[in-house]
A and B are shown apart, each in its own frame.
Chain A
Amino acid sequence: EVQLLESGGGLVQTGGSLRLSCVASGFTFGSYAMSWVRQAPGKGLEWVSAISGSGANTFYAGSVKGRFTTSRDNYLKTLYLQMNSLTVEDTAVYYCAKDDFYAVVNFDCWGQGTLVTVSS
């Protein structure tokens, strides 16, 4: 069974940092691009970042570029999201999602989400 399990969310102050993790199981992790998608309270889905299967290529939404870094460890089957210079607008549930071979927004598996709350 394909599964994704996020962790690392929590409460952080404005300007702080947090690192999210997403552990994958049930598929050949390194063969698939992975993405982070977030959802602010009561709002819609917002694509945040993607990374190719090898990790060589990363992509970011304009709202997080320069502050967030996505990486992966294919041996540990783990996806990471390093979030720096956090603002209250980053408060959201963060989901990791399994994409296709390429990053094309074809998310056939999602994690349960981890809540990040940024307080001022």
Chain B
Amino acid sequence: QSVLTQPPSVSAAPGQKVSISCSGSSSDIGNNFVSWYQQLPGTAPKLLIYDDNKRPSVIPDRFSGSKSATSATLGISGLQTGDEADYYCGTWHSSLGAGVFGGGTKLTVL
């Protein structure tokens, strides 16, 4: 069971927007930056969002991140079939002195 809680799956039609939530506690999300990763089938994860809401320069602005208290959200707009992947949130857990990930969310673009 993961420290951070994500919905197992989400789905939406091409062109629509979807949000993926990540719930934690004051020991992790509440006091540390959150990052988001996309993992396409058979490949290594790729950083989408860091420091809660910043995008690496190679990531399109269709991807966005936000955080409020002990929860974070990844938003993906203008969905494309190529966005079908597993998405993970991650952060540092101050009490554990360890990194933690969410269980992952499988995005299906119908």
Contacts and interface: CB of A to CB of B under 8 A. Distances in A.
B90 A107 contact: yes
B64 interface: no
Q: How large is the interface on A (under 10, 10 to 19, 20 to 34, 35 or more residues)?
A: 20 to 34
B37 interface: yes
A3 to B, nearest CB: 12
A59 B90 contact: no
B32 interface: yes
Q: How large is the interface on B (under 10, 10 to 19, 20 to 34, 35 or more residues)?
A: 20 to 34
Interface stretch (A23-31, A66-74, A80-88, A110-118): A110-118
A16 B40 CA distance: 32
B3 to A, nearest CB: 10
B56 A108 contact: yes
A61 B45 contact: no
Given A105-B35, A107-B37, A112-B44, A44 B90 contact: no
A106 B50 contact: yes
A44 B87 CA distance: 10
Given A47-B90, A105-B91, A110 B101 contact: no
Given A45-B37, A110-B44, A104 B103 contact: no
26 contacts: A37-B101, A44-B101, A44-B103, A45-B37, A45-B39, A45-B88, A45-B90, A45-B101, A45-B104, A47-B101, A59-B97, A59-B98, A60-B98, A61-B99, A62-B96, A95-B44, A103-B99, A106-B33, A106-B51, A107-B35, A107-B45, A108-B50, A109-B47, A110-B44, A111-B44, A113-B44
Interface of B: 2, 32-33, 35, 37, 39, 44-47, 50-51, 56, 86, 88, 90-92, 96-104
